[in-house]
Structure 1
């Protein structure tokens, strides 16, 4: 298990700068993919440890109707799964469950009721909008604002989210509700980083959860509960329905398919209008067709809306205008201030929202400053036919105008951006087919993407970049400079998200256009060629990466000069690629040249110089020149401690690298204390299950094993494997490595009964994931063969034939 070497900081160059860290004493990984490390100042870390939550603290939203009926079996099962199987809700044992079902089925209502009923069993209950990774970050950041407002008001979104994660790690016994999860994989990092509480997720999708959390499917309400809900909403809790009314309610509930959202909206209409149950059923007309698999939620909601919208429009026409605009925004956390231009007077805005609330079309946040609209309601509204003369559906242009008016200045990083971002992205995603976004909206998308770049959240900008590129291609043409920049930015966003399959074709097209339009040595062409080479390298395609890096370096030297920072980065990148290909004879001289020129141009302790020195040391170590490697590692570590601080992630990497060099030189006595120190600091700085922490734990276990201390080695290997399975997944390369390492340690301890099944599992998974002839697969096959021979020898009372077990562990790491 290794950390990946650095490329000298010259990866994909999109618009804006990706920030890795802010000065301080501790860092916490916070992005959905675990890639972002944010440094927090010492006082913020201290507050994360010392600040307690008020009793019963939480941010639970309000229920649209405030009525909850039925679902008692589901509630009991949910409590059993979370609490009983986890021993107790406030213990160190974590529980994770996901509720899934079709839209309008009541998933969020069930989760909300569970949270209300059991909130006193938790130290904190926090509701997280989980429709996207950026919204998860925003919801976590709001926790810091609640618990530590004096510090949160002075810092950015990423730092606040990092603080929240650190607080949750220090204060166990909480409940996090991830509502409306679109991609189950978005939760993997958070579940691994936060093991000391309960996680409850709701999602419309039933797939993708097998490696993340057990699921509980939620069905329609049963007939009795549906009748009770309708009668309660229509008649009031203080009025018991007559037998006739219950009979009418039963018929209506059946026609609405026992869908909770439809029942609630029908009940709200009955209550507001005073219409009788039987009369309302007649108004709805004949029973509509249903989908082949049962109820069609969208058609059910659309069916009851004609009457509800008519009633609302008679009561307050402006309310319908607001609702149509909200259909195109994000469903949650719509600020009242964003809607204000449609109702300039606070009184008229309040009256219009009140009419929508009365008919159960919207829900309020606890402070009534934010509005939520059910996703199914939005879907139905968006699919109504266009009424405007220009072909726009109702509310679409209003939504765009609201976004444009609310957009902050591009160069400012303000909380207004975070509040607006989900709604900008929602409008971008719902751009009408074959209709280009307006120039004004493209300017908004570009400004929002720039804000995310400044925040270091490139991967979150994909949907915005996609909308900008589509507009540029359609309006400006395929090779316009703005189109080239937009295509590069989208490719970079895909690459930041780990989606190389989409990034590489975009980079290839862009390079071809740059060479054609700008020329072979234009600075933008050099950047484009570097980005494509970097993507090839990331995908392991060194045969295509190396020639591109070679051509680009030659052009950089010719156009920019021998010591230009971009030339230095190009030389470092080429050296690393040679090293990756096993060509140390070409890698080492390039690293030596790069280091000498970095020292000359940038200074002896510039971060890029330190990276060059570290990379050269790694190459020396690979060439078994341990004396020179150790000397460079020691120098780099001392300088990083001085320049970056003792617990900066790069300092920790240097400490780990020096420990491995000592170990490679046979000096386990010096290696083990360094590994122990690094592990302790990574646990403190990055968290217990951060990938680099897992690497440190593996490396220390390997050193213990080398020193003959198998008892401590096995314990660490077992812990590391469990956490890798939890955080990275069952077939991640690091998980497979950890499984092999533990098997090897069992075998070394003579425990073949435990070693062989692990070897068998690892081999089967490597064959599936890596292929039959991959070196790691061959290693696993060799290890299993040797272990089987050993157990046969034991059974036959003879000595096993000596055989070398090639172990794929490579504990060394670089930047």
Structure 2
């Protein structure tokens, strides 16, 4: 990321002031010439604005210098702004990522920790509000359709500048038309570029031959400067080029005179260093975004071609890149090669179409060779990010080389981990479509791609769609590769998560137990991949109400992962850390759970950012631990913040329902019943969409809503909801399950409130007996059920049911001043509630 920060020595508005944020703006062109009218029009239009943003567009054909004009405006007027940000806009799917990268500079958090589109929206909102900078400039370079930028242009403050070839911008924004140079500007430019005085007559002849097109003049000037070619000789060479041939070669969207200039430049480059032209031709098949020089260092081409020999020789490689820049066929800056899209188009037209596939394959090999191999490691994400813009333009999906396909599925994995699921979906759809038409025997890439797609479907279409696709892929993997192939095992691990998402908790546990056995056979017990499946098995134990066993497995995995020196990401460490804290809470160890959750939350904020999805999950668990510990105000404050971030960053993530549930529970504990009921209603409407109708989480969460109905006086409705939920949970999980018993205990409270004491006692006794068997006599859930039962027994005159003993034991677990103990002593019943653990 090319970001500079001002030193604050001068004040904004004074010459010499450096913006506090200066991001990705290209270097100033020392040969910039003329354009004073256009620059003045821009300044008047932009600087003259007071509040509302009226975007300005520079519109013109390719090669007229729109981008250079925008660069010059930014440099001349940077003293007027606190923030200037350059956004390549030619690939609409990547605009959000570039805007999201501004997030840390606005104090909104690390972009690696957030969903891309959600982060971009937060950036736009901050700019609109002028927080923290009210004087800013966004430059969208090479925009296509106006609709592509609709969601990315802030309203109410700041300045927006757009460059585009699309004439439709004239109907949408204030537009400055950029034409070719006038003749005086052409002559001035050529004299600057050639660095020697040309006669006006010969400079004018050259400019006329090139149509005064700035990009063509740049190439012609470079050729003369580097090759010391006289104007007359250059014009004679142009005249000797057959018009008919150039008519066939020249693309229809730029003048033939420019193609003439580029042809001579490429011929000069070939004479100077043939391998430089070969490298430039390969660049024509990358995307128009900057090509990192390191791609040619890290990547390789596996043949006996001139390109392969050039890349394998560091000296020849460096000379070739330098020579391309000298002939102005590309700009080399910040270790990046910028090849204009029109130069790319021209170069392709000089190549026999029969050779296209060979050049594209070279690009595919370079991308695959330059890519990191571990897309889950956050430190590698910037390297993946610089490769993304070149995948589609090079038609990488069509490549049938296993190593290239492995890079493709790793790229999708990176995008998912990074939070850009929209781009991940678009790419994986391309890959699957192409690979289904060209399957490779013995190559698992297609199955890996389907596995990636299934993970995306969890968010986009729900767990049922993910399960169907993944189960089919798993069966195919078993048939083709056997039960212990890495791709088979990866699919098996992911399918366990789908089963939990479908509510088949027992099936998930059986499935993951078998997957663990397979992993231990293949990788052993000390391998990170085995640790991941053991972690998943611990999640299964949680949703099957086997909390002590889950606690021990989470403890084991947390200790192993946190002590590992390699092979484990920070995300995995944080996930196991949070899992252990959650299991401790579920076992009733509230103090230890709280302290561990606080440590995990601090680690997540530092390592991944406060709004990373995994950090938010730990924040949910911390808020629950605080609430269980009786710190109701602190719990509510935290979960409000976490839920707001979750809703803003990841509105389609299933765990947003968990944060909504936790927020409603926290609101109930401070007496905010109406707001709690509103939040709970929204959560209940989300469960069928993200999970399925009648999912255990939905039924247990409905029990939380029933508590609110009873507390607000509608006991009959509370009873109806709890009876419905209890029936569904008993059918799916059985009676002796924590979620089922939680609803049943609250149903007993409904019956008691309705005066049906015998029924309340009968149900309460069954709940207490089941809890004794499930968790033992000293578990808080058992004690709560016992206290409520004792109340009902006292009301019927059947004795105290061990009330004092249960209260003393619960006070020992909670503390004598805990709000629950205070409530019980005041004569109130306790209302156990449900908090959904992550799937």
Q: Within 5 Å, give how 1:555-594 maps onto structure 2.
A: 555-557=480-482, 562=484, 565-566=486-487, 568-594=489-515
Q: Distance in 1 between matches of 2:60 and 2:668?
A: 54
Q: Distance in 2 between matches of 1:383 and 1:609?
A: 57
- Corresponding residue for 1:528? 446
The answer as to 2:495 corresponding to 1:548 is: no
Q: Distance in 2 between matches of 1:612 and 1:411?
A: 37
- Corresponding residue for 1:314? 206
Q: Distance in 1 between matches of 2:201 and 2:425?
A: 46
> Which one of the candidate residues 540, 545, 550 is aligned to 1:619?
540
Cα deviation 1:731-775 (Å, max 9, x = unaligned): 6655565456434433442224544555566678889x7699686
- Corresponding residue for 1:75? 47
Q: Distance in 1 between matches of 2:677 and 2:201?
A: 67
Change (3 A) 1:593 1:128: same
Q: Within 5 Å, give how 1:218-297 maps onto structure 2.
A: 259-262=175-178, 269=183
Change (3 A) 1:53 1:721: farther
Cα deviation 1:236-266 (Å, max 9, x = unaligned): xxxxxxxxxxxxxxxxxx9xx9843438x66
- Say which one has the larger Rg: 2
Q: 1:503 Cα deviation (Å)?
A: 2.7
Secondary structure of the corresponding residue to residue 605 of structure 1? coil
- Corresponding residue for 1:673? 595
Tell me if structure 1 keeps the 8 A contact 2:701–2:834. Answer: no
Change (3 A) 1:193 1:685: farther
The answer as to 2:435 corresponding to 1:510 is: yes
Which blocks of at least 5 consecutive residues in structure 2 are unaligned?
10-16, 163-169, 189-199, 233-249, 270-275, 284-292, 300-313, 322-331, 373-379, 458-462, 726-742, 744-832
Q: 1:442 Cα deviation (Å)?
A: 1.1
Residues paired across the two proteins, number: 587
Q: Distance in 2 between matches of 1:190 and 1:486?
A: 35
With 98-107 and 533-542 compared, the bigger mean Cα shift is at: 98-107
- Corresponding residue for 1:442? 360
Tell me if structure 1 keeps the 8 A contact 2:668–2:708. Answer: no
Q: 1:650 Cα deviation (Å)?
A: 1.9
- Corresponding residue for 1:718? 640
Secondary structure of the corresponding residue to residue 178 of structure 2? helix
Q: Distance in 1 between matches of 2:125 and 2:214?
A: 41
Q: Distance in 1 between matches of 2:362 and 2:508?
A: 45
- Corresponding residue for 1:214? 155
Secondary structure of the corresponding residue to residue 371 of structure 2? helix
Q: 1:711 Cα deviation (Å)?
A: 1.1
> Which one of the candidate residues 363, 366, 383 is aligned to 2:253?
383
Q: Distance in 2 between matches of 1:550 and 1:611?
A: 22
Q: Within 5 Å, give how 1:144-163 maps onto structure 2.
A: none
Change (3 A) 1:578 1:262: closer
Change (3 A) 1:741 1:614: closer
Q: Within 5 Å, give how 1:634-783 maps onto structure 2.
A: 634-644=555-565, 648-728=570-650, 738-739=659-660, 741-755=662-676, 758=679
Cα deviation 1:665-712 (Å, max 9, x = unaligned): 232222111111111111111123222222222222222233333211
Q: Within 5 Å, give how 1:312-391 maps onto structure 2.
A: 314-315=206-207, 323-324=215-216, 343=223, 345-346=225-226, 383-384=253-254
Q: Distance in 2 between matches of 1:764 and 1:571?
A: 30
Change (3 A) 1:788 1:461: same
Change (3 A) 1:316 1:139: farther
Q: Distance in 1 between matches of 2:201 and 2:706?
A: 74
Cα deviation 1:303-355 (Å, max 9, x = unaligned): xxxxx9997662597897982599xxxxxxxxxxxx79973854869999xxx
- TM normalised by structure 2 equals 0.54
Q: Distance in 2 between matches of 1:342 and 1:70?
A: 29
Q: 1:611 Cα deviation (Å)?
A: 1.6
- TM normalised by structure 1 equals 0.55
Q: Distance in 2 between matches of 1:735 and 1:216?
A: 32
Tell me if structure 1 keeps the 8 A contact 2:502–2:692. Answer: no
Change (3 A) 1:530 1:728: closer
Q: 1:656 Cα deviation (Å)?
A: 0.5
Q: 1:633 Cα deviation (Å)?
A: 1.0
Secondary structure of the corresponding residue to residue 674 of structure 1? helix
Tell me if structure 2 keeps the 8 A contact 1:756–1:787. Answer: no
Q: 1:631 Cα deviation (Å)?
A: 1.0
Tell me if structure 2 keeps the 8 A contact 1:579–1:587. Answer: yes
Q: Distance in 2 between matches of 1:217 and 1:119?
A: 14
Change (3 A) 1:584 1:459: farther
Q: 1:445 Cα deviation (Å)?
A: 2.2
Cα deviation 1:153-198 (Å, max 9, x = unaligned): xxxxxxxx99x987886999xxx9xxxxxx9778358779998667
Q: 1:586 Cα deviation (Å)?
A: 4.8
Q: 1:570 Cα deviation (Å)?
A: 5.0
Which structure has the higher relative contact order (CA within 8 Å, separation 6+)? 1
Q: Distance in 2 between matches of 1:740 and 1:581?
A: 19
The answer as to 2:298 corresponding to 1:412 is: yes
Q: Distance in 2 between matches of 1:114 and 1:776?
A: 57
Tell me if structure 2 keeps the 8 A contact 1:188–1:212. Answer: no
Change (3 A) 1:513 1:384: closer
Q: 1:625 Cα deviation (Å)?
A: 1.9
Q: Distance in 2 between matches of 1:775 and 1:578?
A: 11
Secondary structure of the corresponding residue to residue 523 of structure 1? coil
Secondary structure of the corresponding residue to residue 537 of structure 2? helix
Tell me if structure 2 keeps the 8 A contact 1:756–1:784. Answer: no
- Corresponding residue for 2:280? 403
- Corresponding residue for 2:820? none
Q: Distance in 2 between matches of 1:809 and 1:429?
A: 58
Cα deviation 1:459-487 (Å, max 9, x = unaligned): 765664445548968xxxxxxx54x8767
Q: Within 5 Å, give how 1:127-142 maps onto structure 2.
A: 127=86, 129=88
Q: 1:512 Cα deviation (Å)?
A: 6.6
Q: 1:538 Cα deviation (Å)?
A: 3.8
Tell me if structure 1 keeps the 8 A contact 2:451–2:470. Answer: yes
Change (3 A) 1:262 1:208: closer
Q: Distance in 2 between matches of 1:673 and 1:349?
A: 76
